[in-house]
Amino acid sequence: MFRRIPWVVAVLLGLVCAGPKRDLRPGMTDQDLFWGADQYDFSIVLPASGMECFWHFAHQGEQFYLTFMVQWVTGVGHDRHLSVTVNTPSSLLVSSVDDATGQINFKTEETGFYQMCFNNFHNRFGTMQVFLNFGVYYEGAKDTASQKEEERKMKEQAGKDLNNTLTTIEETSHRVVRHVFHMFRYYNFGLMRKSADYYLLLSNSQYVMYWSAAQSLVIVVAGYLQLHFLKRLFNSKPSAEAEKPCC
């Protein structure tokens, strides 16, 4: 009876403690953790002195990239600078940028969730909208030995059959896909710059319209007051002799 007690306790502890850890970051919602896709682009609005953080999953050896641009800023004494930091899954700082636009690219050394934080501490009374484009891409998922073996087989097959162009077509297609992917990144950056210029033009037009209306109102009020004072200068009271009746 007593010999079975440690065995039963060990089985119960194994059932409780066994199994993979599914919740890697407790307390975080699915909107803050990005699992599925390799590329995201969207806009966020940061309040005054506010900060937003996002986590994106990446495997070791992948290329991580982040592009951001401040589209518009509102408030008194606003500043277009944005403080951006990227941390590894072990909470080590990878890169930091403090500017209105910026790009961060690096090769991941760890597998896990990489943290991206966007801080609007430069504006204590201003809100800003930021466009984000981030993700990961991986060029070559095989180790060096298998890659060399595959290259050797490809060379042997190319030597046996020179008319076989499938290998060339495959390499060309991969190269085209990679170039198209990078072109899409540059296109997103150009779109962010265009949208930022549009919001700046819209803000300047509103600024000019408000100031023009204010100056027009000042001119009208000044003209009215000037006319009023001029009329008072020529407004004289009749004398006592003029008030007497004439025979």
Q: pLDDT, tens digit, for every residue of 145-191?
A: 556 667 767 766 666 665 556 667 777 788 888 888 888 878 877 77
Residue tagged 């060399």 (tokens):
148
Residue pair 81/119 in contact (Cβ under 8 Å)? The answer is no
For residue 52, pLDDT beyond 70: yes
Q: Mean pLDDT across the stretch 181-203?
A: 79
166 falls within a domain: yes
157 falls within a domain: yes
106 falls within a domain: yes
pLDDT per residue as tens digits for the range 81-90: 899 999 999 9
Q: Residue 93's pLDDT is what? A: 93
70 falls within a domain: yes
Residue pair 38/136 in contact (Cβ under 8 Å)? The answer is yes
Give me the percent of the chain exceeding a pLDDT of 70: 69
Tell me how far apart the alpha carbons of residues 64 and 133 are, in angstroms, rounded to a whole number: 11
Count the domains in the chain.
1
pLDDT band, residue 226 (cuts 50/70/90): confident
Tell me how far apart the alpha carbons of residues 20 and 123 are, in angstroms, rounded to a whole number: 43
Q: Mean pLDDT across the stretch 23-46?
A: 64
Tell me how far apart the alpha carbons of residues 80 and 167 are, in angstroms, rounded to a whole number: 50
Joined tokens for residue 100: 């209105």
Give me the percent of the chain exceeding a pLDDT of 90: 25
> Does an H or E element contain 34, and which?
strand 33-34
Residue pair 44/118 in contact (Cβ under 8 Å)? The answer is yes
Tell me how far apart the alpha carbons of residues 9 and 13 are, in angstroms, rounded to a whole number: 6
117 falls within a domain: yes
Q: Would the pTM of this model clear 0.85, i.e. be above it?
A: no
For residue 132, pLDDT beyond 90: yes
Tell me how far apart the alpha carbons of residues 36 and 135 are, in angstroms, rounded to a whole number: 11
* CATH number of the domain where residue 40 is located: 2.60.120.380
45 falls within a domain: yes
pLDDT per residue as tens digits for the range 64-110: 999 999 988 887 767 888 999 999 999 999 999 999 999 999 999 99
Q: Residue 23's pLDDT is what? A: 45
Residue numbers of the domain that contains 119: 23-201
Residue pair 108/114 in contact (Cβ under 8 Å)? The answer is yes
37 falls within a domain: yes
Joined tokens for residue 47: 């309040």
For residue 33, pLDDT beyond 50: yes
SS (H, E, C) 131-198: EEEEEEECCCCCCHHHHHHHHHHHHHHHHHCCCCCHHHHHHHHHHHHHHHHHHHHHHHHHHHHHHHHH
Rg (CA), the chain: 35
Instruction: List the one residue out of 125, 116, 127, 121 whose CA is nearest residue 68.
Output: 116
